[in-house]
Amino acid sequence: MSDKKTYVDRRLPTGDSLLKQLWQDPLGRAGFLGILFILLLALFAPIIARYDVAQINSKARLAAPSGTYWFGTDNFGRDIFSRIVYGAQVSLLVGVVSVSIAAGIGYLFGLAAGFFEGKVESTIMMLMDIIFAFPSILLALLIVAVLGTSIVNTMIAIGIVNIPVFARTVRASVKAVKGTDYIANARSVGLKNSVILFRHITPNSLAPFTVQATLALSSAILTEATMSFLGLGIQPPNPSWGSMLSEARTYMEMAPWMVVFPALFIIFTILSFNILGDALRDALDPKLKL
């Protein structure tokens, strides 16, 4: 009987190996450093922020960027830099929690659909198609409108709309792994379905799932910003990059810094996650690299 380890040839690389590959890739290094920068802003917000994010100062309304207010102030005299720093906490929290919800549920659905096939697959994928038929932002807004506007409901809504993406990704990956020779060999030596599923198929289908999770973080952050911009996401006075943009619409010509800085941080964060996701895809599956 052949060694069971010969069945597995597509497992994720070790953490050290993966980090080394990402660091050697200029784009991967740029994406990693960009995300690290945003993460440090969020973690050390109480130390970095120079003012209370809800502190209203009527004497400093619409103050231009200066040594006192690095990014200027908004229409209430609140320090924009401090609000952006705390806004990083909100964006990362919403992104991580909502993607965790979507990834956890989507992975189980995709695993079941890809492995068992038949009625199980058709039922699960029909449910995913129903969710996928709605534009993601509209479905998220509908869920929040029903549940109520809060950060928890925002995370739940964004998590639900991203479930089909993960389910489809995992299903396709599982079906591809099922067709490989080492899975056929595993079946031929009498391994149980549970052993094949969790010991061989699951670890070998994680690469595209991991890449999708990284890319979904940028999508979740953008969705949260959009919902907050429309008034159905994070509610004032809590700082959110999207709500900051919404408040700045009236003052774009008078105080353009109210728009510029939140928009730059949204773009920078989403770009960093997308770049890291592309580099991660290349590191996990070099065959996909152009």
Lowest mean pLDDT among 9-18, 21-30, 84-93: 9-18
pLDDT at 250: 87
For residue 2, pLDDT beyond 70: no
| Assigned domain for 3 exists | no
Please check whether residue 8 lies inside any domain of the structure: no
For residue 8, what pLDDT is reported?
Answer: 44
Give the pLDDT score at 4.
43
Angle ∠(88,90,93) on CA atoms, nearest 5: 105
Question: What's 79's domain CATH number?
Answer: 1.10.3720.10
Report the pLDDT value the prediction gives residue 114, as an integer from 0 to 100.
86
pLDDT digits (tens, 9 = 90+) for 51-106: 888 888 888 888 899 888 899 988 888 999 999 999 999 999 999 999 999 999 99
pLDDT (0 to 100) of residue 149: 82
Confidence of residue 285 (pLDDT cuts 50, 70, 90): low
**Cβ-based burial of 270 (10 A; exposed 0-12, middle 13-18, buried ≥19):** buried
pLDDT at 174 over 60: yes
The answer to the question of residue 2 being in a domain is no
pLDDT at residue 3, as a whole number: 45
Proportion of the chain above pLDDT 90, given as a percent: 33
pLDDT of residue 172: 87
- 1 part of a folded domain: no
DSSP conformation letters of 167-231: HHHHHHHHHHHHTSHHHHHHHHTT--HHHIIIIIIHHHTHHHHHHHHHHHHHHHHHHHHHHHHTT
Q: What would the two tokens of residue 166 be?
A: 């993960």
Is the model's pLDDT at 199 over the cut of 50? yes
Structural domain range at position 157:
14-288
In angstroms, the CA 205 to CA 209 distance is 7
Calculate what percentage of the chain has a pLDDT beyond 70: 90
Mean pLDDT of the 117-123 span: 87
Per-residue pLDDT, averaged over 141-162, amounts to 89
Total number of domains in the chain: 1
The predicted pLDDT at position 267 comes to 94
Q: What is the mean pLDDT of the chain?
A: 84
Tokens of 71: 């990014």
In a domain, 46, yes or no: yes
pLDDT class of 269 with cuts at 50, 70, 90: very high
Q: What is the pLDDT of residue 1?
A: 41
**Separation CA 170–CA 42 (nearest Å):** 31
In a domain, 98, yes or no: yes
The distance from CA 239 to its chain's CA centroid, rounded to whole angstroms, is 19
